[in-house]
Amino acid sequence: MNSLKIYNTLSKAKEEFIPLNKNLIGMYVCGPTVYDDPHIGNARPLIIFDLVYRILIKKFGKNKVNYVRNITDIDDKIIQRANELKINIGELTKSITDIFLADCKYLNCLNPNHQPKATDHITAMIQMIENLLTKKFAYIKDGNVYFNVNKFKDYGKLSNKNPQELISGSRVEISELKNNPLDFVLWKPSKDKEPSWQSPWGNGRPGWHIECSAMSEKFLGKEFDLHCGGLDLIFPHHENEIAQSICANDSSIFAKYWMHNGYVTVDGKKMSKSDG
């Protein structure tokens, strides 16, 4: 096979894919947040990144590609949906995960090497947060732990936007507890009857972004080759992953290449669950 070139969101250019270690290529794909039935639009990243995985194993060999795709099974959306349906959160996430895996099989997608669930890796998340606090990249406010984006000079590089553009144009969670509107939560206190884990900062649960950083490090190491996901994950999710992972690990990179798929659209707009 000839040289492999991909468009790297980080560099905003088409680049030749040169792995960090040609004997073990690391690929991480942000999987589903299992709170509601998947729709047609959710099938797009499955098919696209399954194709990428097939290309990589064709070029480098099946035993030389470590493909990880996570399952987010703790999140605000999951808690809200379980409350709406008046069912247990575990019951909801298992049901939606089963549907997702059945869809993968129906679409003839290859299985990843690892498919970790967020709730199985809370300890690793707590350890990463403790590391960020020790290194002064994070701070505590009323039981919440926030990442301080001012401590990371390359914040905004992936999305190619300055801080003001990021604040005004994207999904930034508003809180008076933050030192900076762009600071993001690493750990939050749990409300009554919400899932909760013990931590040095009190009972609570992890923020969304720390989940993927902790799981990718466990299965791929502190630096790996390819990180994939939808365009809507560039900011804030992937931008925040880069910041916290590089700062926690004192590394020069997190993922070398970033690949993002476009949306399935309806009347020119991203397909929603009501459309699909």
**Residue 201 in contact with residue 187, Cβ under 8 Å?**
yes
Q: Which residues contact 258 (CB under 8 A, 6 or more apart)?
A: 8, 9, 10, 158, 226, 227, 228, 238
Q: Which residues contact 77 (CB under 8 A, 6 or more apart)?
A: 33, 35, 36
pTM score > 0.85 for this model?
Answer: yes
Q: Residue-wise pLDDT tens for the chain (276 aa)?
A: 689 999 999 999 999 999 999 999 999 999 999 999 998 989 999 999 999 999 999 999 999 999 999 999 999 999 999 999 999 999 999 999 999 999 999 999 999 999 999 999 999 999 999 999 999 999 999 999 999 999 999 999 999 987 777 765 556 677 889 999 999 999 999 998 899 999 999 999 999 999 999 999 999 999 999 999 999 999 999 999 999 999 999 999 999 999 999 988 887 777 666 555
Give the pLDDT of residue 168.
58
How wide is the angle at C-alpha 74 spanned by C-alphas 72 and 79, nearest 5°? Answer: 130
CA gap 28, 46 in Å, rounded: 13
